[in-house]
Amino acid sequence: MDDRTALIETAVMDRLGHVIDPELGRSVTDLGMIAGVRAQQSGPGAYDVMVDVELTVPGCPLSAQISAQIEEAVASYPDADLTAHITVGSMDEGKLQALVSDLKAQRRENPFNKPGTKTRIFAVASGKGGVGKSSISANLAATFAALGYDTAAIDADIYGFSLPRLFGTHSQPTNLNGMLMPVTAWGVKLMSIGMFAGSDRAILWRGPRLQRSLEQFLADVWWGEPDVLILDLAPGTGDMAISVAQALPNAELVVVTTPQPSASDIAVRSGLVALQVPMHVRGVIENMSYFDHAGERLALFGVGGGERVSAQLTRALGYDVPLLAQLPLDPEVRETGEGGRPAVLNADGSLCDDAFGRTFADLARTLMRRGQAAAANGSTTRA
Ligand SMILES: Nc1ncnc2c1ncn2[C@@H]1O[C@H](COP(=O)(O)OP(=O)(O)O)[C@@H](O)[C@H]1O
Ligand SMILES: [Mg+2]
């Protein structure tokens, strides 16, 4: 009989260091979730390995996923035949408190403001509602996720929050002693005021809560360090963007308009907020630009809104504010969106290989690329 139990226990612990808690993005050993590992020989070259796991919340929905990963990690040991026997429990109150304060300390500074932070933040604004700001935010976030970016989205429109519906999620964020885990849908980490209560309740959060809710979403939510954060702002020309500029000085504003003058005039005003606060206006998206009728582009809402907003903001701000994309009016956008899936995605979550999907993929790449040039200039008023 060979007896290598101590060696195996250490090796298993090492391997568990690569099992990552999907919500917290850190290893289960690091998080103190492994309460014990005991190996016991069951035959020549064969061992039973008892692993005691303590999850943060009892009945954690990710329990099965974490257990499967642990089993795999144990079985991957090359020098003996290991069988995992996993016992799942939950942390006691003291241990959980310690973990949460550890995590909170780590992220005390706003995670998105640290120097050298890699997160690119795009705040999607429009002067008025109904121009497609939420649809664009949802599709853009889904596109980034499908392209492989670690993507988060905040529904900052507390009057007309719509991201949970557009992502088809009814889940509530897991509350870990006051720290919230975003809900992941279609690969995007989401947070919306609409997730907290019945919508009647959430409506009561309006007004003075507007700014606070954004701050809370930034401070109380465990975001990790996403590559991209999309903010679906409330419609309006000032307050919201100012709150964002204060909380997230790196945010870049993306202005949405439709082609007609009534929309573009007010969209210009939503971009001019950048004269009052140091926020870079990244560009303009024109939505509902045309309807594709048997290959012919019908301009149902007139033409030129996007160009006008781009030209006027470029002149007023003194740097190039390009027209980034013109999106067609497409009933499928609304229908798929209302069915709980961003229209750029196939049912399996991959990016649609059609004109709409390619337009969004181009838009996402353009946003990442040109923004990097702006960041490299180190200036929010690049000429
Ligand atoms: N390109 C589009 N084609 C068809 N319908 C669209 C398009 N963009 C938005 N819509 C629809 O228009 C309505 C308003 O869009 P929404 O994204 O909620 O606007 P906002 O957030 O600016 O108020 C929704 O019903 C949405 O599905
Ligand atoms: Mg909206």
Tokens found for residue 244: 């964002």
CATH number (3.30.1540.20, 3.30.300.130, 3.40.50.720, 3.90.1150.10) of 5-106 reads 3.30.300.130
| Pocket lining: 342 vs ligand 1, CB cutoff 6 Å | no
**Which CATH superfamily, name and number, covers 120-377?**
P-loop containing nucleotide triphosphate hydrolases (3.40.50.300)
The protein residue with its alpha carbon nearest to ligand 1, atom 25, reads 334
The protein residue with its alpha carbon nearest to ligand 1, atom 5, reads 334
Model pLDDT, residue 108: 56
Distance 21 CA to ligand 2 centre (A): 32
Model pLDDT, residue 206: 45
Judge whether 5-106 and 120-377 match in fold: no
Determine contact, residues 264/300, Cβ cutoff 8 Å.
no
**Position 308 pLDDT exceeds 50:** yes
Q: Where are the domains of the chain?
A: 5-106, 120-377
Mean pLDDT of 240-252: 83
Mean pLDDT of 225-239: 86
- The alpha-helical segments, DSSP class H, found in the chain are 5-16, 63-75, 93-106, 133-146, 163-166, 199-203, 209-219, 239-247, 261-272, 305-317, 331-338, 355-377
Mean pLDDT of 156-166: 83
Amino acid at 29: T
Model pLDDT, residue 2: 60
Report the sign of the C-alpha dihedral through residues 66, 72, 75, 76, in that order.
negative
How confident is the model over 63-83, as pLDDT tens digits? 898 999 999 999 999 999 999
| Pocket lining: 259 vs ligand 1, CB cutoff 6 Å | no
**Position 378 pLDDT exceeds 50:** no
DSSP at 173:
P
Q: For residue 327, give the ligand 1 atom closest to its CA.
A: 1
132 annotated binding-site participant: yes
| Pocket lining: 288 vs ligand 1, CB cutoff 6 Å | yes
Q: How far apart are CA 11 and CA 2, in angstroms?
A: 16
Q: Which ligand is nearest to the CA of 135?
A: 1
- The alpha-helical segments, DSSP class H, found in 147-187 are 163-166
More confident residue, 158 or 331: 331
Residues near ion ligand 2 (CB < 5 Å) are 133-134, 160, 162
Determine contact, residues 220/180, Cβ cutoff 8 Å.
yes
The protein residue with its alpha carbon nearest to ligand 1, atom 2, reads 329
Tokens found for residue 151: 């993507």
Model pLDDT, residue 250: 87
Residue 105: band (very low, low, confident or very high) from pLDDT cuts 50, 70, 90? confident
Q: How far apart are CA 135 and CA 342, in angstroms?
A: 8
How confident is the model over 41-52, as pLDDT tens digits? 999 999 999 999
The protein residue with its alpha carbon nearest to ligand 1, atom 6, reads 334
Mean pLDDT lowest among 16-30, 137-151, 246-260:
16-30
Mean pLDDT of 113-118: 75
Model pLDDT, residue 148: 96
Distance 272 CA to ligand 1 centre (A): 23
Residue 97: band (very low, low, confident or very high) from pLDDT cuts 50, 70, 90? confident
Model pLDDT, residue 25: 78
